[in-house]
């Protein structure tokens, strides 16, 4: 599968054809990145993605030469050049060795797989995968882990891999955040143990607003049988029910889970509608 899924991409000030995309950069040096979903021409939760990108740079001792406004113009240029109304865009800064300044800035459309409505009703299956990401709060490409997990998922036919740390705690998905439900309470690992996802951030704010109780603690593998429901959050999936983890079944139709899915969809629709209105003014 091609990394650059559109027709054109941005590379260090120039718009180039995707056939010339330098895929080797994904496997070399260190890459800081964000993936932003575009819905009806609107960059979903754009401000949050920007804040996390610059926070990752601070955490890793890297620099981002462009200010937020300049980077926003680059992204809009790619959207216009590639004619993107819906899809996922990746912003990637590539660093060589210990250099603080990036050697490359790439902005491009990436392949996306939005779950069909059927999976929001039936839920997805997940596997457990023993792994810990260094500096979990930083959004960095971990190419080795990414490839290893992808191969395991392909072999098993599962949708996502839930990472398990050395103490037996489930922390997050390989490309998502994970929540569990027990006795009308959401359980999710605290910020310091996971990459604080943008969808997760907005969901937690919604729960606070709606009076839904959240306990910020990780669930241990041996606790799974006591959980009633579980779900993933992420840029492409929003809120997606889990049907089972390994052999442990969960209820994708759990009332609280279905309420959360509905609330989050309303939140996204309101955000897109408001941003479209502002663009038209």
Query: Are 214 and 186 in contact, with CB atoms under 8 Å apart?
Result: yes
Q: Which of 267, 198, 146, 268 is nearest to 34 (CA)?
A: 198
Encoded tokens for 78: 């790619």
Q: What are phi and psi of 212, to 5 degrees?
A: -85, 125
DSSP state of 158: -
**SS3 at position 145:** helix
CATH code for 117-269? 3.20.10.10
Q: Give me the pLDDT at residue 193, please.
A: 93
Q: Are 190 and 216 in contact (CB under 8 A)?
A: yes
- pLDDT per position as a tens digit, 238-257: 999 999 999 999 999 999 99
Evaluate the CA torsion angle 176, 180, 185, 190 in order and state its sign: negative
CA distance 111 to 144: 19
pLDDT, tens digit, 9 for 90 and up, residues 10-24: 999 999 999 999 999
What are the extents of the domains in the chain? 8-110, 117-269
CA distance 211 to 276: 29
What confidence tens digit (pLDDT) does each residue in 209-241 have? 999 999 999 999 999 999 999 999 999 999 999
pTM here? 0.94
The C-alpha R_g of the chain, in whole angstroms, comes to 19
CA separation for the pair 176, 123 (Å, rounded)? 15
Question: pLDDT, tens digit, for every residue of 124-144?
Answer: 999 999 998 888 888 988 878
Identify whether the C-beta of residue 52 lies closer than 8 Å to the C-beta of residue 33. no
CATH topology of domain 8-110: D-amino Acid Aminotransferase; Chain A, domain 1 (3.30.470)
> What is the overall mean pLDDT for the chain?
95
List the structure tokens of 37. Answer: 């979903």
pLDDT number for residue 1: 66
DSSP states along 218-280: PEEGGGGGG-SEEEEEETTTEEEEEEEETTEE--TT-HHHHHHHHHHHHHHHHHHHHHHHHHH
- pLDDT tens column, 7-57: 999 999 999 999 999 999 998 999 999 999 999 999 999 999 999 999 999
Q: Tell me the H-state helices in 12-138.
A: 46-60, 68-82, 117-122
Helix (H, G, I), strand (E, B) or coil at 14: strand
Q: What percent of the chain has pLDDT over 90?
A: 89
The token pair at 142 is 């971990």
């Amino acid at each position: 599968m091609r990394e650059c899924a559109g027709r054109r991409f941005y590379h260090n000030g120039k718009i180039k054809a995707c056939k010339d995309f330098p895929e080797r950069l994904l496997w070399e040096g260190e890459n800081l990145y964000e993936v932003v979903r575009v819905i009806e021409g609107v960059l979903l939760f754009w401000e949050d993605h920007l804040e996390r990108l610059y926070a990752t740079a601070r955490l890793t001792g890297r620099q981002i030469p462009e200010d937020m406004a300049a980077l926003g113009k680059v992204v809009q240029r790619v959207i216009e050049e590639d004619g993107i109304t819906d899809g996922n865009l990746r912003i990637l800064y590539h660093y060589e060795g210990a250099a603080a300044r990036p050697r490359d800035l790439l902005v491009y459309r990436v392949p996306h797989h939005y779950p069909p409505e059927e999976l929001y009703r039936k839920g997805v299956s997940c596997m457990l995968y023993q792994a810990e990401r260094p500096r979990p709060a930083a959004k960095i490409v971990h190419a080795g882990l990414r490839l290893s997990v992808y191969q395991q998922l392909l072999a098993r036919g599962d949708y996502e891999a839930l990472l398990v740390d050395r103490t037996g705690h489930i922390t997050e998905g390989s490309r998502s955040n994970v929540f569990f439900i027990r006795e009308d309470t959401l359980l999710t690992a605290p910020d310091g143990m996971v990459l604080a996802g943008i969808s997760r951030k907005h969901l937690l704010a919604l729960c606070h607003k709606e009076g839904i109780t959240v306990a910020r603690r990780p669930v241990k593998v041996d606790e799974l049988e006591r959980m009633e429901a579980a779900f993933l959050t992420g840029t492409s999936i929003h809120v997606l029910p889990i049907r089972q983890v390994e052999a442990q079944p969960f209820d994708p139709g759990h009332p609280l889970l279905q309420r959360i899915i509905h609330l989050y969809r309303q939140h996204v629709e309101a955000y897109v509608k408001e941003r479209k209105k502002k663009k038209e003014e």
